[in-house]
Chains A and B, each alone.
Chain A
Amino acid sequence: MTAPFNPASPAVEARQLVKRYGTIAAVDGVSFQAMRGEIFGFLGSNGAGKTTTLRMLCGLLRPTSGIALIDGIDIQANPLAAKARLGYLDEEPFVHPHLTGREFLHFVADLYRMPRGPQRDARMTRLLNLFDLAQKDGELIGSYSHGMRQKIGLASLLIREPSVLLLDEPTNGLDPRSARLVKDLLEELAARGTTVLLSTHILEVAQALCRRVAIIDRGRIVAIGSIDDLRAQAGSEGANLEDLFLKLTAGPESREMIERLLDAGS
C-alpha cells in the first residue's frame, strides 16, 4: 500500500525508472526529483527517452521496473489519486475533433468531477480569452491549427489547476506571442506552487525557465542540476546550455559532418 499524500515529499519523483521493449531499453534507470513550485527541465535529443519517461510518470505507460511518484503517491499503485493531481500535455495534444473548444473544456472538467456552475464558466471564458480562442468558440477543434490545439490542450489542464504539470514540448507549433504567453504563465504557476516538468529540445526555453534540468541521452540521465552544476560537471565554465548539452550528449561532431557533407556536394 502506498503512503498517502505527503506535503514534504517531492512533487515528482522518478526512482530507477526502466522501460524495455523486448531487448531495447527506451529508458534505463532514470531517477530524479522535482520539488514543489519548481520548473524542472527535461532535455534530450529526439528518441532519447523524454516522452517515454513522461508517459511513465503520468501513468500512460507501465514501467518495466522502478517507481513514479506524484506528490508522493505511486501512480501505478494508486493511479486515481495520483492522476487527480497531475496534468499531462502530449506533444500532439489529446483532443476531440468533433467538440468545440468550450465543449472540450466542459468535458475535461466533468471527467475530473469539477463543480459545475457560473464559476467554472467564467474560468473557461477567461482561459479561452487568454489563449485567443474565444473568437473560435463556435468552431470544432478538428478545424483548429496545431498551435490552437496546443493552446486548447493547455487550457484543458489549467481549467482544473493541477498541482503538477507534465508538459511535452508545450511551445511546439506556437507563434512567438503565444510561446511567450506560455512561458510567462508557467513562471506564474510555479510562483504559486505548481510544479512543472518541462520536456523540450528548445534549449533557450529551458535556460530561460528552468531552475534545474536533467539531460537524458539514450535512455539514461547524463547530467542533472542547475546550469552552474552542469557547467561544473562538464568542466566548461561560462558555457551556455546549448554547448553544455552538445558536450554532454557527444554532439559537436555534427559540425564536422556538415562540413564534410557540404564539401562533398561542392
Chain B
Amino acid sequence: MPGALGIIVRAELLAFRNRLLKRNPVGLAALGIVTLVAGGPIFVGAFAIGVTAGHFLPFAIDPLLAAAFTGLSLLMLVVGFPTVIASLFVGRDLLQLVVAPVRTRDIFIARLLLAMTANLLISALVLVGVLGVGAGAGAPWLYFPIAVLLLGAQVVVITALQAILMTMILRWVPARLARDVAAAIAGLTGAGLYLAWNLNLRQTFGRKGRPDISSLTSIVQRIDWLPTTWPGHTLSATIEGSFAGALAWLLATLVLAALLVAMAELLYERTLLSGLGIFGGATVVSRRRAQTAIVPSTAKGAGSPSLAIARKDWLGFRRDVRRLTRLLPALLLPIGYAVALSQPGRTLSGFWSNVALVTFLSMFMSSALASPSIPSERRGFQLLRMAPLPMWQLLRAKVLIALPPVLATMLVFSVAVAVASKSGAGQLVELIVFGAWLALGFVSISVAGGAIDPHFEATDDRRSVGLLGTLAAIGGSVGFSVLSIGALAGFLFGEQVAAGAASIGPIPTTPPIGVAMILGGVLLVIAACALAGGLLFIANARLRSFEAGITATT
C-alpha cells in the first residue's frame, strides 16, 4: 500500500484495536458469544436456502441472483449511508488529514475502505447465500472466486454512489444533520423490514409447497437494465457455462465500479475544497431565526428548577434532530407489533391479551423515553450538580417529564385495543388505570436505570446507559410487570371469588378466600412500589456520589 494511504489505514486499524481493548472484557466476550450464537445459524440458514434454490429452481437462477444483488444494493444504499457519511464527511480526525501534506485521493481511498465496512457486513450474508446457489446448482469452481469478487465490486459501487450522492446533498444540508437523518431512515427501514418479515414473509415462507416465483421473474425482467442486476447475470452465465457472456457482464460491472470510484474521488476533493462536510458548510440549518423583539416576561414568583429542567428538555429534544431521529425507529416496533397482535386472528384471550400488550408497549416506551433522561444531560449535568438542587428533585423532575408522553400513548393505545377487542366500559377503565400504573412504575424504573449507570459522554441515546443501568432497568421492569399483573389478577379474581362468581380449581370460592386474594394483590402492589422506590433510592445515591469528569461531546 503506498505511503500516506498505508499510514492512514494503519492508524485506523490501531484506533480500532484500541477501542476494542478499551472495552470491558466481560462485555466483549458476551458480544462474541452472542455474535457466534446468533450469526452461526443465520449464515448456515442463508447457505442452506441458497443450496436449495440452486438445486431445485435451476430455471430461476438468473432472476434469483439478479434480485439478490439488487436487493442487497438497495439495502446497502439505505442502511450503510450513516457509516459512509461518518467516515468520509464527519469526524475531527479528518481535519488533521486535510491539513497534512496528504493527497486528497489517499484520504478518499483510506476513508472509502472504512466507509465500506457496514456494507461489507451486510453483503456477507448475501455472499453466503450466493455461494450456496452455486453449490446447489453444481457451478464450476470459477463461480466461487467470481462471486466473491462481484460482491466486493458491488460494495464498492454502492459506497461510491453514496459518496457521490452525499457530495451533492452537502451543498444544502450540514454533514452531521445528513448523517442523523440517514441514520433515522436506515433505522426505520430496518425496523420496517423486520416487521414485514415477522408479520408477512415468515408466514409465506413457512407454508408448505413449492414457492411461486413468477412475480419475482416478472419484476426482474422489468429491472433487467439496472446495473445492480449485472453481477447476477455474470454468475448465472458462469453456471450455464457461457464464459464469454460471463466475461462481458463481469467487465461491465468492474468498469462501472472504477468509473464511480473515480467520479466520487473527484467530487469528494471538490467538496472538501468548497469547505463543505467536515468544515461545517451549510450551518444555516442549525441556526434559529433571530428574534426581532424580546417579549417582556409576565411571569411572577420564584423560578422553579423542575419546570426549568422540563422546559430545557423539551426545547433540547425538539431541536436535537439526532435524538428525534433515533427515537422514531425504536417506536415503530412496539406500534407495529401492537397493530399486528390486535388482529382478530391472535390466539390470546381478550382482556389478558390486552393487559399483555399494554405492559409490553408501556415498558418499551418508558425504556426509549425515560432511560436516557439523566445521561442526555451530558456535560450540563455538572451545572445541575453545582446548583442548590438535591438529586432526588432532579430524578423527580425527570420522571414527571417522561411520564406524560408515555401516559398519553398508553391512554390512546388502551382505548384502541379495548375497542378492537370489543371490551366493555368496565374493562376499558381497568385497562386505563392499569396502563397508568405501569407507565408510572416503568418510567420511574427506567429513569433510575439511566441514573444508576449514566454514560454522559455518549452522543447516541441508545448507548447512554451502561450495562449495570440497563440490567437494573430491565430487571426492575420485568419484576414490576410480574408484581403488577399478579396484583391485578389478585384484585379481579379476588372480587369474583368473594362474590362466588368464579371457579379457580380446587380453591374454594368463599368470601374469605376472595378477600385474601385481594390482600395478596395489595401486598404485591406494595412490593412493586418498594421495587421502583428502591431503584430510585440507589439512583439518587449514585448521582450524589458521581465524581467523574465529563468531556464535551458534539
Contact = CB atoms under 8 A, between A and B. Distances in A.
Q: Per DSSP, are chain A's interface residues mostly helix, strand or loop, or mixed?
A: mixed
Interface string B366-390: 0000000000000110111111111
A138 B288 contact: yes
**Which of A59, A88, A96, A117 has the most chain B CB within a 10 Å cutoff?**
A96
Nearest to B280: A143
Contacts of B202: none
Nearest to A108: B383
A115 B299 CA distance: 9
Contacts of B296: 118, 121
A112 interface: yes
Interface stretch (A79-87, A213-221, A222-230): A79-87
A96 B314 CA distance: 12
Contact of A138 (B290, B298, B303, B390): B290
A84 B388 contact: yes
Given A90-B382, A94-B380, A116 B299 contact: yes
B352 to A, nearest CB: 43
Contact of B305 (A96, A98, A110, A116): A110
B349 interface: no
Given A94-B379, A112-B303, A118-B297, A88 B386 contact: yes
**Which of B298, B303, B379, B386 has the most chain A CB within a 10 Å cutoff?**
B386
B388 A61 contact: no
B309 to A, nearest CB: 8
A112 B380 CA distance: 15
Given A103-B315, A115-B303, A94 B383 contact: yes
Nearest to A106: B308
B312 A107 contact: yes
B388 A96 contact: no
8 closest cross-chain pairs (CB), A and B: A110-B303, A110-B308, A138-B290, A98-B316, A116-B299, A80-B388, A84-B388, A94-B383
27 contacts: A59-B386, A61-B547, A62-B547, A79-B388, A80-B389, A81-B388, A92-B379, A94-B379, A94-B383, A94-B386, A103-B315, A107-B308, A107-B311, A109-B303, A111-B383, A113-B302, A113-B304, A113-B388, A115-B300, A116-B300, A118-B296, A120-B297, A138-B289, A140-B288, A140-B319, A143-B286, A143-B287
Given A60-B382, A62-B545, A107-B311, 19 more contacts: A80-B388, A83-B386, A83-B388, A92-B552, A94-B382, A96-B312, A96-B316, A98-B316, A107-B308, A110-B305, A110-B311, A111-B308, A111-B384, A111-B389, A116-B297, A116-B301, A118-B296, A125-B294, A139-B290
